[in-house]
Structure formats: C-alpha cells, structure tokens
Amino acid sequence: MELLDMPPEIFQRVVKTYVRTNGVVEAWKIRKTCKTFRDYVEYEIFSTPKLNGYIKEKAGRNILRNNIAKFLYLRSNKLNGFIRDLVPNFIRDVMAIAEPWVRDDKAKAALRKVLCELYVKTDSNAFACIVRDIRHGRHQNHLQGFQVTKVINLVAAAAAAGSPDWLRDLANHDHQVLWLHSPTFGYPIVAAAYAGQFNVVKALAEQALTDQGLSTTTSATAKHTSFREAICTSIKVGHDEMATVLIQKYGEAFGPASETCMTEWLQCSVSTGNKVITRLLQRIPTHAGTYTFYTAFENSCRLRDPGLIRIFFEEGRLEVNGISSYSYPLTVASQMSHTSTVPVEVLLSLGANPDGPTYRGHFRRPLEVALQTGRDRVAILLLEAGANIHLISKSCWKPYMKQWSGMEEVTEALNRSLRESQKPRPLCGELFVCGNTGGDEQ
C-alpha cells in the first residue's frame, strides 16, 4: 500500500512520527513529493516541534524565518510544547475579542491567517519575537506593541475582518484612529486591502474625504502613506477594482500623485504584469518626471510583455523616438534583450527609428549597442528594419565579421546594409552655408 492510500488519520500519524524522529530539516526535504504530501508534512513541521527543533540548526532557523506566518497560524490555535508564546497568545487574544463580530468558523480561520501574515509583514523583528524572550534585552520596548487593549491594533484587525460594525464600535468617537499605524498589523486601510475587504476599503477611502474639512491632530503624512501602501497592496493582490477606486480617491484627497507614489505603484503594476492599472497610471495627474516612467518601461522590457511595453507609448508618457537625459527607448530595449527580441520588435512596430534619434547626444546608436553587447538577433532585426551600418564606426562592427563568418543570416543582413545604405556625406561647397557671414554693411 502506498503512503497516500492510507486513511488520512493513519497517514497523519506516520508523518508526525517521521517529523519527531528525523527532525524539522530532514522532514522539510521530503515535502516536495506532491501537494497533498506537502500539506501534511508542513502541518506537522509547524504545529508540533518544540522551539529548539527549529533553532538548533541554521537550516531549521531559515525554514522558520521563511514561514513565520504558517507557524503562527497553527501555534496561535494550540501551542503544542515549549515555544515563545508572546505573539501566538497575542493573536489568540485578538481573535477572542473578534468573536462577537466574526462568528462564522471559516471567516475566523481566514481572519487568523490574515492577521498572522499582516504581523509578519508589519513587524521587522517578527523572527526575534518568535525565537527569543523579548521581555529582556534590546527588544523589550517592543512589548508595548503587543497590547491587545491597544485600540489601533484592534482597528486594523477589524478592517482585516471586513466588519464595519466592529470599526464603528472602535472609532465612532475618534476617527483619527482609522489612520494610525498599528505596530502589529499596519494601517487599517492596508490591512483591509490585503484581506480583500473591498467594502471596508471603500468606506475608509470615503471617510478620508469626509474628514478633510474637520480639525484633526492626525498626521496628514500618515493618511497619505496609508493610501499609498493600500494602493500597492491592492495591486499586488490583483484586485483591479479596489486599486482603481483607491487611485481615484487618492486624487480627490491629495491631488496629483507624488513621485514616490507613482514610482511604487508602477513598480507594483509592472512587476505583476497588470496592464489595466499600468495604463490607468499613465493617465492620472502626477508630479513624477520622465525618469519614473523610463524606469518602469525598463522593467516591462525585462518581463518581455509586448502589451505592457506598448502602454508607455500608446498613452503618450514616452515618445518612441524621443530622447531624454536618461536614454533612448530603442537603446534601452536593445540592452534589455538578453534572451528575447520582444522589446525591440515592439518598439520597431511602434515606429522606432532603427538608427536612433536624429540628435543622439552622448548615447550610442541601437545597432552599436547590439553589436558591442553580442545581441546578434537584435542586430539582425535592426539591420532588417533599415539600420544604416555606415552611421556607426567601422571599428565597432569590423571585428565581428570574422566571428559571424559562419552565420549566414547575420552576415547577409550586414552586407545588405553595407551595399544599400547611404553613406553620410559632408556639406559640399564653402565653409558656411551662407557666404556672407559678416554684419550689414554701413
């Protein structure tokens, strides 16, 4: 009989025995057999061993460090032996307070999972709090953050739970707490965005606009930062509608997007391949300069996503034949085409001049970049698109003739350009275009 053919309760006991006998590190190595097997192994690895089972070996510490949220999720339900109980007990106490507002068992499990993940994302000292007694030493001032009675912790938890009633109960008499940063769960609107609580996110965004006319001691920076992070989070979790609403409300509350905001949002939208939000970000008012969009364009070239690359030019943020103090788009595409010619193909299809801009400043021509960096396929594309070999120094391409002697496609394109492209000619005639260079005769 195969292991996975056993009844689940028997199989679980086998895995538990294996983890107890062989330890965390050895058990971790066998988890890749299949998803079902992995789930059983991970459950036993994070729910049963004592703390020493993780920290006695470097590999064990790394396993715990990279899976703190899973560890907390299981240990906040049941400690199972000696571990540092500060954080698990804190999560459990928050869940106990949440019970009147979150009654469904499935919703409770989802909230506990989210709170554990939010804690790990928020607290940079999460690992230390799990493996050390922070009541003594340099982390002891950290204890103040783990007060379950702290309203800001509960407000963030209520937002993650998606409970407007719980939020009203906590913040009805003091709206300022909606924008304060919880040391354990972060900003409430970010917690709600991470948990996918769209209705709460919309309500908080509207509240930000409602509160604008009121005298308040809440830092405007905190509100701005929470919006910025919530938009990043909604993009990362793939909730386009939520991100769109937040971007719209941000504009109403704070005006044109700051350079910092635009940089972070574009980084998130491009890295996740999100064309909807990337296109939206091209259209909103912003204080960000060309450099911000060039950087995002570079990242889209690395991803080799044609649709993503096109957005920067279709929406007019960058000009396909425009040059800036930063670079020239086709040159950037040539440099980014390590394993794929997609970025170059896209720009040529958009009308990029294969020779580069008329005035290229101190930048090299795209063909020169391709030749000097060994981008053979890019060089062929540029030559086939009409790049003029005569516009770059012979010393640049001459050394490659011997190297390419056995590559018919390259040498054919190169020779065709040598034959058919016009050589640049100096001005004929006198030194100056107009012979009369003096001033008006008196």
Could you report the per-residue pLDDT of 389-436, keeping only the tens digit for each? 888 877 777 776 666 666 666 667 777 777 777 776 655 555 444 444
Helix, strand or coil, per DSSP, at residue 182: strand
Scored b (16 or more CB within 10 A) or e, 321-343 reads: bebbebbbbbbbbbbbbeeebbb
The neighbour count for residue 269, using CB atoms within 10 Å, is 28
Q: Where are the alpha helices (DSSP H) in 68-163?
A: 68-75, 86-98, 105-122, 126-131, 151-161
- Give the Cα separation of 303 and 220 in Å (integer): 36
- Give the Cα separation of 442 and 437 in Å (integer): 15
DSSP secondary structure, 273-338, as one string: T-HHHHHHHHHS-B---HHHHHHHHHHHHHHT-HHHHHHHHHTTSS-TT---SS--HHHHHHHH-S
Q: What is the mean pLDDT of residues 318-329?
A: 84
Could you report the per-residue pLDDT of 201-218, keeping only the tens digit for each? 999 999 988 877 665 545
- From residue 134, how far is each of 126, 143, 159, 358 by CA, in Å? 11, 7, 28, 64
Query: Considering the chain, what percentage of its residues have pLDDT values greater than 70?
Result: 88
Q: Is 426 exposed, middle or buried (0-12, 13-18, 19+ CB in 10 A)?
A: exposed
Could you report the per-residue pLDDT of 22-66, keeping only the tens digit for each? 999 999 988 877 777 888 889 999 999 999 999 999 999 999 999
The neighbour count for residue 391, using CB atoms within 10 Å, is 17
Residue 440 has pLDDT above 50, yes or no: no
State the pLDDT confidence band at 90, using cuts at 50, 70 and 90.
very high
Tokens describing residue 298: 């570079």
Token look-up 């001032």 returns 141
Of the two residues 376 and 4, the one the predictor is more confident about is 376
